[in-house]
Amino acid sequence: GAGVSQSPRYKVAKRGQDVALRCDPISGHVSLFWYQQALGQGPEFLTYFQNEAQLDKSGLPSDRFFAERPEGSVSTLKIQRTQQEDSAVYLCASSFRTPRGTEAFFGQGTRLTVV
Amino acid sequence: QQQVKQSPQSLIVQKGGISIINCAYENTAFDYFPWYQQFPGKGPALLIAIRPDVSEKKEGRFTISFNKSAKQFSLHIMDSQPGDSATYFCAAWPAWGGADGLTFGKGTHLIIHP
């Protein structure tokens, strides 16, 4: 596709439920990032993949958060036992080269609401 | 610890005026400074970016001014238009160390009055 695609656009989960958020990066992009954006705040870095390798997961807030990119293209962010504080927009971004100082293209995000 | 401080939080400018948003940072390892524009319900989109080897970069109506010694950079939007109404984020990326993702400011909600 022409841009980064994320699905679903909206997700409502009951507290304690597991959720999976999908990201389709731009074809050929080596780098893939996940960010969390709370209401009225800037995006916060969660994790980074270079192809299929997860090179940085320093931003994941707890061990309930897990991300994978098994074939170096599509990525899934999974949140287990969701809590209300997990409510946010989850953004995926990709870039053509390795990460630092290159343009990152963002998807529209998945808005997660935990009730 | 907030590594990139952005101000103001909100800004109202008349059509045709100049919008100015400021950011300050502390980490001297930062060496790439992009500005992103975000409309409601959309992801951030890159507007313009600068590296610290230049003091100014201009693209159309958008200009970044960079002051390395003060560790500050700003976005100027000339001839502001109602279509520029959006949330703007400054960000920074270190050349080494730290996380592999961008560090964002908290954002500025810009409203351009017609």
Closest CA of chain A from B106, distance in Å: 5
Range B82-106 average pLDDT: 90
List the one residue out of A90, A112, A93, A89 whose CA is nearest residue A103. A93
Contacts of B27 (CB under 8 A, 6+ apart): B3, B92, B94, B98, B103
Q: A33 is written with which tokens?
A: 């990032």
Q: What is the pLDDT of residues B31-53, one digit of tens each?
A: 899 999 999 999 999 999 999 89
Answer yes or no: are the C-beta atoms of A32 and A67 closer than 8 Å. no
Q: Is the pLDDT of residue B2 over 90?
A: no
Q: Do A56 and B31 make contact, defined as CB atoms within 8 angstroms?
A: no
Structural domain harbouring B47 = 4-113
Residue ranges of chain A with per-residue pLDDT less than 50: none
CB within 8 Å: B107 and A41? yes
> In this complex, do A99 and B101 lie within 8 Å of one another by their Cβ atoms?
yes
Give the integer Cα–Cα distance in Å for A50 and A72: 8
Question: What are the E-state strand segments in chain B?
Answer: 4-7, 10-14, 19-25, 30-38, 45-50, 56-59, 62-67, 72-77, 86-94, 103-104, 108-113
Q: In chain B, what percentage of residues exceed pLDDT 90?
A: 81
Please provide the CATH number assigned to the domain covering A5-114.
2.60.40.10
pLDDT in tens, B59-70: 999 999 999 999
Q: Of B97 and B13, which is predicted with more confidence?
A: B13
Residue B98: predicted pLDDT:
72
CATH number at residue B41: 2.60.40.10
Q: Count up the domains in chain B and report the number.
A: 1
Where are the domains positioned within chain A? 5-114
Alpha-carbon distance of A37 to B23, in angstroms, equals 19
A92: nearest CA partner in chain B: B43
